[in-house]
Amino acid sequence: MNFLAHLYLSRDDEELMVGNILADFSKGVLNKNLNGNITRGIEIHRKIDHFTDTHPIVQQTKHRLQPGFNHYSPVVADVFYDHFLARQWEQFSSERLNDFANKAYVALKKHRLLFPLRFQHALVYGRFRKLLISYASVDGIDKAFNRISARTHFESNLEKASSELKRNYASYQSDFFSLFSRADCICK
């Protein structure tokens, strides 16, 4: 799962949201100076990642992606899943996606000094909020894949991911709904 799913699974708790995103930048031992709920958000992020990384449905998605994207297939799967969450947002939340993205953006921006400088810039200029909303369209995730591709060190083929999504849309969507119906339980 990517940013949107991690934020959604934070249960509208601002500090859990911060921790859930901060976890991508905090490998290893937790910083003991963080607020308890931010630390808990990092722990929830790790539980979510363990759940998805070991789940047979995600393995099926990654296996389908493997030939074209090799070790970047988990990244592609994560963004695909965020696309389906954004696309079908109203099935999961009574809040509009735009409103949720704005709330998450405000929470993260308030704690921006906890994040690396590059991510701070994305928060200051509002790019992160726009990214969450853009996941709802294939064009939006295509732009996300192109940005990620520009940062990879190896050949990733990420610029072809949107075409793969269009080719097998129903299969990936089915994987997402099968997984996401189970993901809620890991955050309790």
What's the mean pLDDT when you consider all of the chain?
89
Q: Cβ(26)–Cβ(42) under 8 Å?
A: yes
Interval 147-185: pLDDT, tens? 889 888 888 999 999 999 999 999 999 999 999 887 666
Which pLDDT belongs to residue 97? 96
> Which pLDDT belongs to residue 188?
54
Asked whether the predicted pLDDT for residue 29 surpasses 60, the reply is no
The answer to whether 120 touches 113, Cβ cutoff 8 Å, is: yes
Q: How far is CA 111 from the centre of its chain?
A: 19
- Fill in the amino acid letter for 101: A
pLDDT digits (tens, 9 = 90+) for 63-89: 999 989 998 999 999 999 999 999 999
Please tell me the predicted confidence (pLDDT) of residue 9. Answer: 92
